[in-house]
Amino acid sequence: MADAKIHDLVIVGAGPAALSCAVYTTREDIETLLYEKAVPGGLISTTDWVDNYPGFPDGIEGLTLGDNMRKQAERFGAVIELGEVLGLKKQGDIITLDTTDGDVQAKSVLIATGSGYKKIGVPGEDAYYARGVHYCATCDGAFYRDKRLVVVGGGNSAVQEAMFLTRFASHIDMLVRSDFRASDVLVKELESKFADKITVHKGIITDEILGAEIDGMNKVNKVLGTDKATGKKVEFETDGVFVFVGLQPNTGFLKGSGVELDEIGLIKSSADTLTTAIPGVFVAGDCRADATLQIATAVGEGATAALKIREFLEGHL
């Protein structure tokens, strides 16, 4: 059913950037409605443990951190609706969002839908998520000090993250489906500086991630694959698997809206003002081109977006 009210601000998403923005806007009496199609808190609410967010010296469960952010935003008056935004268009000074609850109108919009990690879609990948399967080296690499790891991927992010993981892991087996897609500079750096800790296996298709009961918990212990050249099955013993095959921005609903996207679907914006190609539509967090994909920076962008949205609304009263 369509919502007749014209909201001051509608935020699409309810992850760290969105909730941070909502804390700031609601404290300044900017009426704020958030739409979230999954779990408030975003990716952090599905992360087992967060060890690098300031203010928590012993770390914190991702679900707890995300829930605390939600509670704080709601305490100041933010309203979170569970539903999906399907499209967006601007007519005059009003932005209309097509949602699963009908049309919703707003004076300003923040897009903070984040990005999801692309998966390789093999058996065991979902079952062992956060129990040996990971997608963020800076988030989870420190859990694997002096352990063996498998890295899946051959692009820039895979090479960069594999090199970063050598700070912790005793050895890394890097499984590349065909050949490197990473830049020559990165490949040469990997081969010249990290050959003692990273063994590259080209032409390996990852088939399955297996686990076993370890210290009373079911954890990853092996990766099965196929050598494309010989057709033979191969296996790699490991304590964890890091998958780096790219990100999938949650921005499909913006196609045809006038919001500009880059080649992989990230939202183009002004780095200073977080404005998009549509006046009144802002962006923050992991769905923004050039985002750093860290919780702390997403929170910072959310706060910046709130201040820019306030300035926009004051100029359009």
**What is the maximum alpha-carbon separation in the chain?**
69
Least confident of 71-80, 145-154, 240-249: 240-249
CA dist 102 and 122 (Å) reads 37
- Does the domain at 6-116+247-315 match CATH 1.10.10.10? Answer given as no
Mean pLDDT across 157-183: 94
HSE-CB of 102 using CA atoms within 13 angstroms: 5
- What pLDDT, on a 0 to 100 scale, did the predictor assign at position 3? 58
Q: 10 Å Cβ neighbour count for 270? A: 12
Spell out where the chain has E strands: 6-12, 32-36, 49-50, 60-61, 79-82, 85-91, 94-99, 102-111, 115-117, 133-134, 148-152, 171-176, 198-202, 204-214, 217-227, 233-237, 240-243, 247-249, 281-283
CA dist 109 and 241 (Å) reads 38
Least confident of 49-63, 68-82, 141-155, 230-244: 49-63
Residue boundaries of the structural domains of the chain = 6-116+247-315, 119-243
Contact in structure between 47 and 295 (CB atoms under 8 Å): no
- What pLDDT, on a 0 to 100 scale, did the predictor assign at position 38? 83
- Structure tokens given for 207: 């088939």
- Structure tokens given for 79: 């309203």
Mean pLDDT across 165-190: 95
Least confident of 45-54, 64-73, 269-278: 45-54
How distant, in Å, are the alpha carbons of 206, 251, 273, 284 from that of 120?
Answer: 8, 20, 36, 27
Tell me the pLDDT of the chain averaged across its residues: 93
**Predicted confidence band at 51 (pLDDT cuts at 50, 70, 90)?**
confident
CA dist 246 and 157 (Å) reads 7
**CA-based nearest residue to 8, from 261, 203, 282:** 282
3-state SS assignment for residue 158: helix
- What pLDDT, on a 0 to 100 scale, did the predictor assign at position 104? 96
Between CA 12 and CA 19, with CA 15 as vertex, the angle to 5 degrees is 80
Amino acid letter for position 294: Q
Contact in structure between 64 and 47 (CB atoms under 8 Å): no
Domain 119-243 CATH (choose: 3.40.50.740, 3.30.2420.10, 3.50.50.60, 3.40.50.2020):
3.50.50.60
Mean pLDDT across 118-146: 92
Indicate the Cα dihedral angle 282, 287, 293, 297, nearest 10°: 10
Relative orientation angle of helices 156-165 and 184-193, to the nearest 10 degrees: 20
Pairing relation of β-strands 217-227 and 204-214? Answer: antiparallel
Reported as type and span, the H/E element at residue 100 is: none
Fill in the DSSP letter of residue 259. Answer: -
Amino acid letter for position 77: G
- What pLDDT, on a 0 to 100 scale, did the predictor assign at position 264? 87
- Looking at the chain, the whole-number percentage of residues with pLDDT higher than 70 is 98
Would 6-116+247-315 and 119-243 be classified into the same CATH topology? Answer: yes
Q: What is the pLDDT of residues 249-288, one digit of tens each?
A: 999 999 999 999 999 899 999 989 999 999 999 999 999 9
